[in-house]
């Protein structure tokens, strides 16, 4: 199966920039999606197809994807950004077809 | 507005089955696949399978093959996920999720259904 590896935690001060990586074999050839999940809530899509944002998601959220690493960048971090973040890809040659990353807890200091 | 509303929490004994429903509204039910994703307490997200509400075809993660059945009722715009032979490790929140398009990101999620397996 295809494996996506994320750092367990990232800490960032308010107003600074948080970068969350998602590592996978040749992930740059796949479309990567990112979800934000706050405690007790369902996940929310924040970036899709590597770098597009759904309507209603602040421009502070951006994404990139190249080689073996995809990155979610949160600029000008706010207290409300504290959450778990998951990357996800579709890989038709894998089982399961839809793979989630291990998840990263973002803590706002 | 587009929304997915799931059935309420369940408590089951080991070996039993559970059936979770997910009612869609605000869009054409048969135009979008539906996924099921689960999350054990304190753990990450795990994809279980997908159903095409138009024809009813399904595809399941190998881990759940033989234990999971996904169905739909087009008359009520509802999809169902039934998991059998429950064990304690199946204790989790189960979500339905709609993709933006075939093989796309999951932009609409249900509120989740907590399933507890305990003797």
pLDDT of residue B26: 98
Does the pLDDT value for residue B10 go beyond 90? Answer: yes
What's the mean pLDDT in B21-45? 98
Structure-block tokens of residue A88: 């996800």
- Count the alpha carbons within 13 Å of A99 in the hemisphere toward its beta carbon: 25
DSSP A6-52: --SEEEE-TTS-EEEEEE-TTGGGS--EEEEE-TTS--EEEEBTTTB
**Residue A92 burial (CB < 10 Å; 0-12/13-18/19+)?**
exposed
B103 to chain A: nearest residue by CA? A90
| pLDDT for position B95 | 98
pLDDT of the residue at A93: 84
Q: What is the mean pLDDT of residues B87-95?
A: 98
Instruction: Specify the pLDDT at position B109.
Output: 98
Q: What does the pLDDT read at residue A95?
A: 84
CB contact under 8 A, B106 and A43: yes
Give the closest-approach CA distance of A91 to chain B in angstroms: 9
pLDDT value at position A96? 85
Contacts with B115 (C-beta within 8 Å, 6 or more apart), sequence order: B9, B10, B12, B18, B20, B83, B86, B90, B91, B92, B93, B94
Residues B78, A53, B23: CA angle, nearest 5 degrees: 10
Predicted pLDDT at A80: 97
Rounded Cα gap, residues B35 and B58, in angstroms: 10
On the question of pLDDT at B103 being above 90, the answer is: no
CA atoms of A90 and B41, how far apart (whole Å): 24
Q: Between B45, B104, B109, which is nearest A86 by CB?
A: B45
CB spacing of A45 vs B103 below 8 angstroms: no
Round the average pLDDT of chain B to a whole number and report it: 97
Residue ranges of chain A with pLDDT lower than 70?
none
Q: How far apart are CA B94 and CA B46, in angstroms?
A: 9
pLDDT at B89 over 90: yes
B50–A97: do the CB atoms touch at under 8 Å? yes
List CB contacts (< 8 A) between A42 and chain B. 95, 109-112
Which residue has tokens 């990586």?
A21
Assigned token pair, A97 = 């077809």
pLDDT at B70 over 90: yes
Strand partners, A89: A99
* A86 with B44: Cβ contact below 8 A: yes
Interface of B with A (CB under 8 A): 35, 37, 44-48, 50, 59, 61-63, 95, 97, 100, 103-107, 109-112
Interface test with B, best of A6, A34, A45, A61 (most B CBs within 10 A): A45
d(CA B108, CA B87): 29
């Amino acid at each position: 199966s295809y494996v996506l590896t994320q750092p367990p935690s990232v800490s960032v001060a308010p107003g600074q920039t948080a970068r969350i990586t998602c590592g996978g074999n040749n992930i740059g050839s796949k479309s990567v999606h990112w979800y934000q999940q706050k405690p007790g809530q369902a996940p929310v899509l924040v970036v899709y197809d590597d770098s597009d944002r759904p309507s209603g998601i602040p421009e502070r959220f951006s994404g990139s994807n190249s080689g073996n690493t995809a990155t979610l960048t949160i600029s000008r971090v706010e207290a409300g950004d504290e959450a778990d973040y998951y990357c996800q890809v579709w890989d038709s040659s894998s089982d399961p077809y839809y793979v989630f990353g291990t998840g990263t807890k973002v803590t706002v200091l | 507005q587009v929304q997915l509303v799931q059935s309420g929490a369940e408590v089951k004994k080991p070996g039993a089955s559970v059936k979770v429903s997910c009612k869609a509204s605000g869009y054409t039910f048969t135009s979008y696949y539906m996924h099921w994703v689960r999350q054990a307490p304190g753990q990450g997200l795990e994809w279980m399978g997908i159903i095409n509400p138009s024809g009813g075809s399904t595809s399941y993660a190998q881990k759940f093959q033989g234990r999971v059945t996904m169905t739909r009722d087009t008359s009520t715009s509802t999809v169902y996920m039934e998991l059998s032979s429950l064990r304690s490790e199946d204790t989790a929140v189960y979500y339905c999720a709609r993709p933006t398009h075939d093989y796309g990101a999951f932009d609409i999620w249900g509120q989740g259904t907590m399933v507890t397996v305990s003797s």
